[in-house]
Amino acid sequence: MILIALRDLIGVGVQEKFRTALNVQRAALHFHPTAIADPDNVGVRVDGFDIDPDSIASLVHNYDNNGFKKINGVEGIARKLRVSVAAGVREDSLNTRQLYFGFNRYAEKHAKPFLKFVWESMLDSTLIFLMVCSIVLIGGKFATEGLLVNVYDEVGIILGVFFLVVFTSVNDYHQSLKFCEWDRENKNISVKVTRDGKRQKISIYDLVVGDIVHLSIGDQIPADGICISGSNLHIDESSLTGQVDPVYVNQENPFLLSGTKVIDGSGKMLVAAVGMRTEWGKLVEVLNDVGVEETPLQVKLNGVATIVGKIGLSFSLLTLAVLVIQFFVDKATRGDFTNWSSKDAMKLLNYINILVTMIVIAVPEGLPLAVTLNLAFATKSLTNDRALVRHLSACETMGSASYLCLDKTGTVTSNCMVVNKLWISGEVVEMKDNRNGNKLKGKISEEVLNILLQALFQNNASEMVKDKQGKTTILGTSTDSALLEFGLLLGEDDSLVSLPNGGLRVFCKGASEIIIKMCEKIIDCNGESVDFLENHAKHVEHVLKDFASEPLRTISLAYKDINVIPTENNIPDNGYTLIAIVGINDPIRLGVKDVVQTCLAAGVTIAMVTGDDMNIARTIAKECGILTNNGLTIEGQEFRNLSTMHMKVTIPQIQVMARFLPHDKHSIVASLKDMFGEVVAVTGDGISDAPALHEAHIGVAMGLSGTEIAKENADIILMDDNITTIVNIIKWGRAVYINIQKLVQFQLTAIIVALVINFISASVTGYVPLTAVQLLWVNLIMDILCPLALVSEPLNDELMKRPPVGRGEKFITNAMWRNIFGQSIYQVIVLVVLNFEGKNILSISGSNATDVLRTLIFNSFIFFQVFNEINCREIEKINIFKGILNSWAFLVIIFSTVAIQVIIVQFLGNFACTVSLNLELWLISVLIGATSMLIACLLKCFPIERHVSIRRDGYQALSAQP
């Protein structure tokens, strides 16, 4: 007797599934290894192997069927590789195989050396010009005075440029190393192999030639190899060869290439080549120069920096023009216009030096760098939370996510099926935690039990394996694993020998609504096949509704006895006998309810999509809090029939989508993006989720249960499948956006004050109070220290109490403009008053009174920025100290800035153009800077026009202002 098993008739045509079942039998016959000697191709034994690495790699690359057959196929290659097709490689041979055949690693582009970053930082045109001017000034003074005296300003500028270059290079180098680390983690996937007769998971990097790899739908081929056996194995080679159509791997075409993907079927592969000997490795070697992508926020800030830089350049040129005009006017009034000396040239060159320094501070080139710094910090923190960010822009975009589309199976639920209820012979038996096997045996006859066992064991693709510790594990799909585990509780399958008449028995299982339509008979309590009458149909319909209300996914089991093996084009799709209806349950993941409530409170709309039955989907959605009383549920067929006009009305109200095909998921995501301007995040774990994951702004895949195709199309991977991590991802995305807003507010304030005070002073007195060295120190605070301080702020729950920021929202909000202009006007007024009346107001006298006053102005300016940095912790709220003690890094940077300022003023006077200040003047400087905190409180009391958005559901959202 031949028993033909049909698998998973769920949502797919009957003909295709029968064809799959037949291919199982054919694959078992066609791929059965043989042991025919090959006297003509013995080869030379090297390290115990009869074939060299290049020869076996070439066999696969060239699709050499003739050579493959000459070696006697898989068995012949296995003999030459000293490996058992059944037991796999021996653990004690791994080192030898790696040394001889190579490691499964590709040539990686090495991180740029630190000196390369230094060199690139030094190529900044403004810094080069600043250095050249300083060197020319030093040379001029040496030529005129003969000694290198009074060159402190110039040396200070050179040292300032040096420290700026070093700080920038260290930060860039650190980020480069991080990117390499993330890339390696992203490529480190798990592979299922058999070694020493035991099934186990290993890292792709530990794969060796001779390994027996188990492939299933959604897997990535980890190395070049040869198929040992397979069931309907179809491979997507488009990423490697560009071929769009799937490649069917069979006896005539057994070759598998690294980097390709399994899109259908399953199989076993013998690894023939690894690492750089694979076809993918050769391609990677050519295409290894992969740059770091620029995120949307970086692009936006590049525009901000360009505009601010142009304004700063205008102010700088205007300041230079004023200084030069005053210089010429002064020479003309003294009648000395025709008498030029080297000192005059030095003075003009010094003006140019001031111009370049003002340009350096006026161009906030550190803004895009700050985004990278923020994203790097967020990504590192998410990695600690077991979330791998594959694309930096996804972390940033997640903060703007306004729509979260959750896949039910594997995301909302654990994708770990268990049998909870069984209907058979008119009886409903509850199987609590799969421990009521004896109860079921007592309710049904032995004949019925035998048929049930046949259906459970024969039509099942799962298998039982033992690991190194001897622990038994069931491997396969969640549905097959649940049915196999259930069958094992009922007893061993010892009744699958033959039918009484010597015929064939076909088993099938799948979605109840499909299988029941194929059934014309039903088994009675004695195991006999009787007609499927109307009363039976009504009873079955009632059972299905009862199961679905719990919610349970229903799988129907059926069989048909036939006399001849059907062809692929003539497979029966009716006349089956219904055996049983199995109710399996996929438990809801822990924390899903909290995630839903938190996201809804944060203004993120949530919907659930699944290919399952509507009753199950609706029940689970209600339990999780996704489905509300007024929420809309829709099935895939109904969605596909919607016109564009109806979609615009219907889609905003959808909360549950059932019986959705992969194309439907892709369509709903595309519609949300294009029609409604939503920022869409999608979760998924299966190959059917890949199109939606790719289409969404942010695709989130499961790391443990997800297929490699799903992971490749995702932007973020939850390595431990913990759905609650999504809340932290949203928090970090919002934190990055808000931190950059705080930084922009701080930097624009400092830039405006520095440019305006220098321009006013130059226009009136002919000199600038903030020298080149001092402005370089300010630039270091703005571009390095302030970003480090703000990025270190810990997450807080307030981030999830505001709506997401839309893509069309202004980056610099009205509240930010209020704070920027208010602080700038106040600081400029105070510094101008000090500049012109400081000596009288503070009674500063003596031969160095002017130097003391200029130092006081510089000191007050720095403390303005220090206290304004604290102000910027909150853009709208008055309480700026909330949580500051928890941000130890912020406090360390603030105190470090003050400490460096003390050193500059008290000990580096010659270089920084400062003089030592007494305690009284230090206190005055600190008090002047501290008054900016009072001004910040007063400014926040002024009301501003708030942008109130109208949500799709008609409710008014809270202000999007941070």
Band the pLDDT of 495: cuts 50, 70, 90: very low
Which of the two residues, 307 and 676, has the higher pLDDT score?
676
Long-range contacts of 616-619, Cβ-Cβ distance < 8 Å, separation of 24 or more: 616/548, 616/551, 616/552, 616/553, 616/658, 617/408, 617/551, 617/656, 617/657, 617/658, 618/551, 618/656, 618/658, 619/548, 619/549, 619/550, 619/551
pLDDT of 27 strictly over 60: no
Instruction: Give the model's pLDDT for residue 945.
Output: 63
Instruction: Give the model's pLDDT for residue 759.
Output: 81
Task: Specify whether the CB–CB gap between 689 and 679 falls below 8 A.
Answer: no
pLDDT of 959 strictly over 70: no
Instruction: Give the model's pLDDT for residue 323.
Output: 81
Kindly report, residue by residue over 263-313, the tens digit of the pLDDT: 888 889 999 999 888 877 766 554 444 444 556 676 677 777 777 777 777
For residue 769, is the peptide bond before it cis, meaning its omega torsion is within 30 degrees of 0? Answer: no
Q: Are strands 716-718 and 387-389 parallel, antiparallel or unpaired?
A: antiparallel
pLDDT of 498 strictly over 70: no
Instruction: Give the model's pLDDT for residue 277.
Output: 86
**Of the candidate ranges 272-276, 342-346, 492-496, 953-957, the one whose mean pLDDT is the lowest:** 953-957
Instruction: Give the model's pLDDT for residue 607.
Output: 95
Band the pLDDT of 903: cuts 50, 70, 90: very high
Instruction: Give the model's pLDDT for residue 459.
Output: 76
Instruction: Give the model's pLDDT for residue 626.
Output: 93
CA atoms within 13 A on the CB side of 589: 23
Neighbours of 494 (CB within 10 A): 9
Q: What's the whole-number mean pLDDT along residues 463-491?
A: 70
Length of the chain counted residue by residue? 962
Q: What's the whole-number mean pLDDT along residues 314-339?
A: 81
Kindly report, residue by residue over 186-236, the tens digit of the pLDDT: 667 788 899 988 888 888 889 999 999 999 887 889 899 999 988 888 888
Ranges 308-312, 682-686, 752-756, 865-869, most confident = 865-869
Which of the two residues, 224 and 134, has the higher pLDDT score?
224
User: If DSSP codes are grouped into helix, strand and coil, which group holds residue 122?
Assistant: helix
Q: What's the whole-number mean pLDDT along residues 29-55?
A: 51
Task: Specify whether the CB–CB gap between 513 and 16 falls below 8 A.
Answer: no
Band the pLDDT of 41: cuts 50, 70, 90: very low
Instruction: Give the model's pLDDT for residue 128.
Output: 74
Q: Give the residue among 220, 252, 194, 273 at the shortest CA–CA distance from 31.
A: 252
Share of the chain above pLDDT 90, in %: 25
pLDDT of 880 strictly over 80: yes
pLDDT of 796 strictly over 80: yes
Kindly report, residue by residue over 468-477, the tens digit of the pLDDT: 666 666 666 6
Q: What's the whole-number mean pLDDT along residues 482-489?
A: 77
The domains located in the chain, with CATH, are 50-107+190-286 (2.70.150.10), 294-377+730-940 (1.20.1110.10), 387-414+589-721 (3.40.50.1000), 418-585 (3.40.1110.10)
Only one residue has tokens 């002024």, namely 942
Q: What's the whole-number mean pLDDT along residues 882-907?
A: 90
**Of the candidate ranges 96-110, 405-419, 497-511, 677-691, the one whose mean pLDDT is the lowest:** 497-511
| Dihedral Cα 801, 805, 809, 815, nearest 10 deg | 30
Catalytic residues: 407
Instruction: Give the model's pLDDT for residue 241.
Output: 63
| Dihedral Cα 895, 896, 897, 898, nearest 10 deg | 50
Kindly report, residue by residue over 172-182, the tens digit of the pLDDT: 777 677 666 76
Instruction: Give the model's pLDDT for residue 571.
Output: 63
Band the pLDDT of 120: cuts 50, 70, 90: confident
Instruction: Give the model's pLDDT for residue 426.
Output: 85
Euclidean distance between CA atoms 702 and 714, whole angstroms? 9
Q: What's the whole-number mean pLDDT along residues 406-417?
A: 84
Helix 114-122 crosses helix 152-187 at what angle (to 10 degrees)?
A: 130
Instruction: Give the model's pLDDT for residue 142.
Output: 65
Q: What's the whole-number mean pLDDT along residues 408-428?
A: 85
Q: In terms of DSSP H, where are the helices of 651-724?
A: 662-676, 690-695, 708-712
pLDDT of 912 strictly over 70: yes
Instruction: Give the model's pLDDT for residue 23.
Output: 36
Instruction: Give the model's pLDDT for residue 960.
Output: 41
pLDDT of 566 strictly over 80: no
Kindly report, residue by residue over 685-700, the tens digit of the pLDDT: 887 888 899 999 999 9
Instruction: Give the model's pLDDT for residue 588.
Output: 86
Kindly report, residue by residue over 611-649, the tens digit of the pLDDT: 887 888 888 899 899 998 888 999 999 999 999 899 999
pLDDT of 573 strictly over 60: yes
User: If DSSP codes are grouped into helix, strand and coil, which group holds residue 675?
Assistant: helix
Share of the chain above pLDDT 70, in %: 80
pLDDT of 660 strictly over 70: yes
Band the pLDDT of 898: cuts 50, 70, 90: very high
pLDDT of 962 strictly over 80: no
Which of the two residues, 471 and 573, has the higher pLDDT score?
573
Only one residue has tokens 């111009």, namely 355
Which of the two residues, 39 and 745, has the higher pLDDT score?
745
Instruction: Give the model's pLDDT for residue 500.
Output: 59
Task: Specify whether the CB–CB gap between 938 and 878 falls below 8 A.
Answer: no
Q: What's the whole-number mean pLDDT along residues 563-570?
A: 64
Average pLDDT, the chain: 80
Kindly report, residue by residue over 160-173, the tens digit of the pLDDT: 678 777 877 786 77
pLDDT of 39 strictly over 60: no
Ranges 279-288, 532-541, 570-579, most confident = 532-541
Kindly report, residue by residue over 914-956, the tens digit of the pLDDT: 899 999 999 999 999 999 999 999 999 987 765 544 444 433 3
